[in-house]
Amino acid sequence: MLVGRDSELAIIDGLIGQVRGGAGRALVVEGAPGIGKSALLDHAAERAGSGMRVLRVAGVEGEAEMPYSALHLLLRPVLAGVDALPDPQASALRGAFGMGPPAGVERFLVGLATLALLSEAAAEGPLLCLVDDGHCLDGPSAEALCLAARRLGDEPIGIVLAAREKAWPPGGVLAAAGLSTLPLRGLSLEAADALLTREAPELSGRLRDRVLETAGGNPLALLELPKSVGEHDLLGAGPLPISDRLRDTFRGQIDRLSEAARTLLVVVAAEGTGDLATVMRAADGLGLPVAAMAEAERAGLVVVTVGSVRFRHPLVRAAAYQGALFTDRQAVHQALAEILELADPHRWVWHLALAAFAPDEKIAAALERTADKSVERNGQAAAMRAYERAAQLSEENSARARRLAAAAAAALEAGQFGHAEQLCAAALPLTDEPAVLARLAGARGRLAFDRGNPLTAARVAIDGVAEIAGQEPLEAARLLVDAAYWAGHGVDPRLVGEAVAMLDSLDLPPDHDFQPYIEQVHGYYRIITGQAADAAMFTASRPTLVLEKTWTARSLNVIGHAARALEVSSDMVAEARSAGLLGHLADALFHQAGAQTLLGRYHAAVRTAEPALALAVDIQQKSVAAYLRGLLAWLAALDGDDERCTALASEAIRYADDHGTPPSAADATWALALLDLGHGRYEAAVSRMENRWPFWPCSSAWVRSTADHLEAAARAGERSVAGRLMEELERHAGRILDPCGPAILARCRALLSPADQAEAHFAAALRDGPGDDRPFERARTLLAYGEWLRREHRRADARTRLRAALDIFQRTGARLWAARAHAELRATGDRSVHAAAAPGLAGRLTPQELQVVHLAATGATNRDIGAQLFLSPRTVAQHLHRAFPKLNVTSRRQLAALDLDR
């Protein structure tokens, strides 16, 4: 029975009760060593009883180098269900566990597959996953568990992870954002006294007080200190941290053992996995008697069961291993290596590396190969450590630099930016090889960009190209494409131009396949510098690679060719999903949502952008997340949702300010101004737009936002501001590639023209626009035209235009603008139209219900829908169950006949 943990036990009991009731719950239990985390997990397992299946695993420090090792152990009892998963998820999980080809394993996809596999298992009854020593998990396993835990939804699954405080999740993996945390503190003095009375009733009063003072409420300390130190030792002890104190306590117990038993504990500690057969074979190779294991077990330092041996507490392992002489540890690693060469090549080479006294190229090469395999399985943190150790064992500087550069690249992927910087700095002085220099320049540039320094990133990449342009022109081209993007993100057209000029100077092979990138960069440069560009540079492109599609979709949205942008981005989304390229999916969805927004498909855009933002946050694509927040804020402005628009825009603007990336705040600032404009707060809209970061000249966003700025200024009586903006539009008119550009300029001319000229400009705006392809712009023109006609006392003509505008606004979901059109219509004396149309089908559903229903209408199964939306099949079923009554349908077949875009 646990003493003094009533509130914590109630939380655990409540979680188990909720899981039994069909609700998914996750909890991270954090605390210092010995504070009682494992005891709480034991209680959870006991409370689960026979009616709930329990899966349990403990992190092992020795396996932290092995990607997905802990996840494999946890899921091994339910792996038979992997065949029931969607193909991309099943392939990802098989690859992660070495059960299939490893290439293309996506960390995020493995997390989703973990959730789906647990869901399959939970179909037979509630499931509880217990993870002890979470801080010792390998990074990919911890990441997959975090991702699954955040998406439990309505699954009867509980996940409880125990880890040391400030050590979870382990280095470089996704933060456990959104997971409830239960911090374990020391016991109260009353509870500590009660525990001590129960476990050590023989203590004298003076020693008892000192134990209570030294333990600080730590249960393990309260149990162990009385056993291990005498009164004199305890009273003379200095103020050590409790973990050091406990380690010294365990060290004292170890020192009382025979030399053979002490050495055997080093074998157990070094072996790391707890495999009893491996431990005993290594012990035999070192000449240790079997009785040594019995001695350690009798001392209570290890627990031996059939086939396994484990330390009573992780600190025993630390004390045993760290307290041994360096030469003794090396001998143990050598013994382990000799028996693992055929059984486990990965662990074999690591034991060899730890046994090495001096640089050894053969071991370094073998360790580099195992690092390469870890990269294939997306075990970036493990790969980083292997590359780095291989570099330490390298005999030549060139090999050392190559391995350090690889370690830096892996560290970046693992999110360990500080260490990546150190690795780059260590590698640079060691090499002049172009390929290595290119890799280092790319790593250093990306490091600077991810840290919010895009101009530094571009400068590093451009300077790096100077070192390699002659020998590695294709690598140089790739670096310069990145440099151009980074420089544009940092608002420096001059630096973009420098990258473009260097691209043009490269002596590229005639048969290279990188030309689409280069063409896109040239077009991008012309757009951002306000030069005349040819739309065919973007519309004629037929990209095949994912990155080519990214550039193409982005550029097509920039120039306002939305239909083609939607085609390319939708193809990119489909490819990213089918191939499990989750690292590209959020960006693809952003471009898809941007094209849908241009085309006036606002419900579809929200349906696309919402999961994209959740994905970007999950995989820490902070820049993409900022752009998505800006886009969603703009859509919220159309809906008149002030609170949502402000919240999303504020986050995007804060990111831009913190990272020196003004373009990522442009949509957000425009959204706030558009909200003000829609509400008739014209002075506020002008103020926001005057202080906004302007979009690139001639881009579609620049044309449309400038038109909004001009309208706000005109309606606020700021004629000089409106006139200046009109001059800017006219000056760039010939270089605008957006098909809607002429219509928007004509509307702006109408707003500023005298009465005898305005109508001709309104007519031109309606005639020259792309019509149904860009409904919002057409409706804005109809609204402005109707308002003008009403002021000219031509009410009948005004009603015709205003009704048409109202219909488009209502149909597309621009509710704020629909309300404005309705008010104008009432001002003409028309009372026949309601203020707001009855909500369309899409308006009855939550965003996630809408996503699920939309896919179900295509005939997709729950499993297929879950694979696309990163939900479990059971959660998909729950969304459909809630959506059917709202849509007045009773079966999936009826969904296909519904108009879900209204």
Least trusted range by pLDDT, from 25-29, 769-773, 891-895: 769-773
Considering the domain architecture, whether residues 772 and 889 belong to the same structural domain is answered as no
Q: For residues 389 and 848, which has the higher predicted lDDT (pLDDT)?
A: 389
The reply to whether 753 and 649 lie within a common domain is: yes
Establish if 112 belongs to a structural domain.
yes
Structure-model confidence comparison of residues 101 and 504, the more confident one: 504
How confident is the model at residue 882, as a pLDDT? 85
Q: Are residues 280 and 219 in the same domain?
A: no
671 and 812 together in one domain? yes
What DSSP string describes 822-867?
HHHHHHTT--SS-SSPPP-TGGGS-HHHHHHHHHHTTT--HHHHHH
pLDDT at 172: 41
Q: What's the token pair of residue 421?
A: 């910087």
pLDDT range class, residue 63, cuts 50, 70, 90: low
Task: Report the SS3 class of residue 138.
Answer: coil
Work out the percent of the chain whose per-residue pLDDT is above 90: 42
Query: What's the CATH number where 697 sits?
Result: 1.25.40.10
Residue 293 and residue 150 share a domain: no
User: Which residues form the domain of 695?
Assistant: 625-827
Given a contact cutoff of 8 angstroms between Cβ atoms, the answer to whether 594 and 614 are in contact is no
CATH number of the CATH domain containing 13: 3.40.50.300
Q: Which of 324-328, 542-546, 860-864 has the highest mean pLDDT?
A: 324-328
Q: Which of 827, 855, 885 is the last residue of a domain?
A: 827
Q: What is the DSSP letter of 24?
A: -
pLDDT of residue 230: 55
Residues forming beta bridges with residue 30, ordered by sequence position: 163, 183
Do 863 and 744 fall within a single domain?
no
**Which pLDDT value is given to residue 749?**
97
Cβ-based neighbour number of residue 646 at 10 Å: 17
Reported as a pLDDT band with limits 50, 70 and 90, residue 341 is confident
- Confidence at residue 834, expressed as pLDDT on a 0 to 100 scale: 65
Same domain, 165 and 196: no
Round to whole Å and give the CA distance between 107 and 86: 16
Strand order in the sheet with 25-31: 53-58, 127-132, 157-164, 25-31, 180-183
Instruction: Work out the average pLDDT over 441-467.
Output: 83
Do 175 and 138 lie in one domain? The reply is yes
Query: Which pLDDT belongs to residue 174?
Result: 40
Q: Does residue 161 sit in the same domain as residue 268?
A: no
Q: Is the pLDDT of residue 364 over 90?
A: yes
Assigned domain for 697 exists: yes
> What is the per-residue pLDDT for 843?
67
Do 631 and 747 belong to one domain? yes
pLDDT band at 582 (very low <50, low <70, confident <90, very high): low
d(CA 440, CA 456): 14
Residue 586's pLDDT band, with cuts at 50, 70 and 90, is confident
Please state the rounded mean pLDDT for residues 61-89. Answer: 83
330 and 283 in a common domain: yes
CA atoms within 13 A on the CB side of 537: 22
Q: How many domains does the chain have?
A: 5
* Of 297, 294, 299, 354, nearest in space to 324 by CA: 354
Give the three-class secondary structure for 432: coil
Last residue in a domain, options 216, 239, 262: 239
Distance between CA atoms of 109 and 870, rounded to whole angstroms?
9
- Dihedral angle computed from the Cα positions of residues 410, 414, 418 and 424, in that order, rounded to the nearest 10 degrees: 10
Confidence of residue 537 (pLDDT cuts 50, 70, 90): low
Q: Does residue 290 form part of some domain? A: yes
Whether residue 797 lies inside any domain: the answer is yes
Whether residues 138 and 207 fall in one domain: no
Flag whether 536 is in a domain: no
| Tens digits of residue pLDDT in 377-406 | 766 777 888 899 999 999 999 999 999 999
Cβ pair 652, 631 in contact under 8 A: no
Residue 729 lies in a domain: yes
Per the structure block, which two tokens stand in for 779? 């409706």
In the prediction, which pLDDT does 85 show? Answer: 83
Q: What is the pLDDT of residue 212?
A: 84
Domain stops at, among 352, 368, 396: 352
Q: What is the predicted pLDDT for the residue at 503?
A: 92
* pLDDT value for 103: 46
Q: Is residue 717 part of a domain?
A: yes
Is 323 contained in some domain? yes
Per-residue pLDDT at 835:
55
Structure confidence at residue 694 (pLDDT): 66
How far apart CA 465 and CA 462 sit, in angstroms, is 5
Confidence of residue 892 (pLDDT cuts 50, 70, 90): confident
On average, the pLDDT of the chain sits at 85
